[in-house]
Amino acid sequence: MTARVLVVDDLLPNLKLLEARLTAEYFDVVTATNGPDALKICERGECDIVLLDVMMPGMDGFEVCRKLKANPATLHLPVVMVTALDQTADRVRGLEAGADDFLTKPIDEIALIARVRSLSRLKFVVDELRTRAATSANLGVTDATRHTLDDGLGGRILLVDDRTNSAQRICAALRGPYEVDVNIDAHESLFRATEQDYQVVIVSLGLARFDGLRLCSQLRSVDRTRHTPLLILADLEDRQRILRGLDLGVNDYLIRPVDKNEILARVRTQVRHKRYADSLRSSLQAVMELAVVDPLTGLNNRRYLESHLAALLDQAALRGRSVSVMILDIDHFKHVNDGHGHDVGDQVLKGFAARVKRSVRGSDLMCRLGGEEFVVVMPDTNLATAELVAERIRSSVAGTPFPLEGSAQSIPITVSIGLAESPGVEIPAAFLKRADQALYLSKNSGRNRVTAAAA
């Protein structure tokens, strides 16, 4: 999954240098030489992340960042401010303007790429939430798109640090705006993070008895803490571990000795983003329960699919990426209902939905079309990858019979699957029809198989 990066700098050599570095890492690059042009590009949705020079004539980078964060259409865009200024006060000023990070020239190439990758992942998650919120608003069941960034103050912070002096300084910097819990044991910290509603978890990489990066990885693998912002504390010599942390999903980092104003600004930034994403998730959950969820399986229904698929295709066309769709039909499901009753049939449908959902990504859209027919929409996925996923699902369904509640009995089930791929320039109904035709071929060829539609 690549990203489109907007580089904003009034000096052409700087633009060309950053463009070459990012292009070599397979990012798409858009450029602008002044603030007003950059704002227009962002408002048109033509980028995923902004690298913004501070020192520009007319509208400087701080003002551009403030305008981006004040506009509901662009406030979710990650912004990295790039400048020759290296004072802590300048970094804090950038973060208070809403920037997600602040890089100093000359730019460390490895750190730059790692930061862009990390923020791009965050942007794609938020994009998916915003798209689903917009779909819900179009259905007329919510004002789910009316969300803003708050001041980022208040709430609980978990600090995992066994250096007494370091922990005391950080607590002194954060207490007041936040409640800070300090823990020196990594295992206990993982337990506490899953039990409490923390706004941010701060992890020291210098823990004496545990690898801080392993704790970060564990926090990212648990549902309860998957979306909790992670900030790591590191020493200057920890550079490679910092980059590894960013690859693991860490949101931000601080180099010791920690400046009071900088840690407060970085924590506020993470809290603002968390609350924004949480508000989107909360609205979406309520909406789904009211209007667009199949009550039996808990999946989205046909109504939601018909609205959301159009938005996904538009995004694919804009970004030049593929979307694949998979239609699944449980083979001979009528025999289940006729032979065992509709209660058993409902159990099979729920078990089938759960088994398929475990085989797809969280960003994929899985819906129940009706009866025993389901659909999975996979953004940023070509047909070859979709075939691998479909075969994995087919094998999983056929490989293990479905157990029945309150009984030692189980029922063998197979599934027929049809696939299609689209570059986005396609009517949703035509896209689904191609996958449905491929499904028809699977069923006519003996069932329990995967067929892909011709391009």
Distance between CA atoms of 263 and 256, rounded to whole angstroms?
11
Output Rg (C-alpha) for the chain, integer angstroms: 24
Nearest to 349 by CA among 299, 398, 281: 299
Neighbours of 39 (CB within 10 A): 20
Whether cis (ω within 30° of 0) applies to the bond prior to 57 is no
411 alpha carbon, distance to own chain's centre:
36
Q: How far apart are CA 360 and CA 299, in angstroms?
A: 13
DSSP one-letter string for 21-53: HHHHTT-EEEEESSHHHHHHHHHTT--SEEEEE
Residue 256 structure tokens? 């010791």
372 is catalytic: yes
Active-site option among 128, 372, 387, 421: 372
Q: Which strand (E) or helix (H) includes residue 283? A: helix 260-287
Instruction: State how far the Cα of 296 lies from the Cα of 304, in Å rounded to an integer.
Output: 16
Q: What letter would DSSP give residue 258?
A: P
3-state secondary structure 319-368: HCCCEEEEEEEECCHHHHHHHHCHHHHHHHHHHHHHHHHCCCCCCCEEEE
Residue 199 has phi, psi (to 5 degrees) of -75, -35
Q: Indicate the DSSP class of residue 426.
A: S
Residues facing 178 on adjacent strands: 175
CA 417 to chain centre: 27
Dig out the tokens for 87 from the structure: 């004072």
Whole-number Å distance between alpha carbons of 424 and 314: 6
| Residue 203, beta-bridge partner list | 160, 232
Give the residue numbers marked as catalytic.
372
